[in-house]
A = this chain, B = another copy of it.
Amino acid sequence: MKSQADAKECDHPISHSVVQPNKSDLVKRLNRIEGQARGVAKMVEEDRYCVDILTQIAAIQSALDALAMQLLASHTNGCVRSAIKSGDGDAAVEELMTLVKRFVR
């Protein structure tokens, strides 16, 4: 994991990236995901049907996947691009690939 220090070195934090996913929109979506997780916990406590519970978990996964892909595009268009332009691409691309592998089966 990069430290906060590294973040400072990045000219394009999420909130100013080229793709520009609206920050408050991202937070809103994460709050919704947080609520979905709370809802699933409640379903388990209520002995709800396992298929309904698993369907809800799959919905959270989809929401996280969409969020991750948006952030990945924002990161690539921001930090990675500026790193490549400033001749510092090797580390940025390697880091990007490590990240992509985390989201691939």
Contact = CB atoms under 8 A, between A and B. Distances in A.
Interface in A1-45: 1-4, 6-7, 10, 13-15, 17, 23, 26-27, 30-31, 33-34, 37-38, 40-41, 44-45
Contacts of A104: 65, 68-69, 103-105
Interface in A56-105: 57-58, 60-61, 64-65, 67-69, 71-79, 81, 84-85, 89, 93-97, 99-105
Q: Interface SS of chain A: helix, strand, loop or mixed? A: helix
Contacts of A4: 48-49
B97 A78 contact: no
B61 A57 contact: no
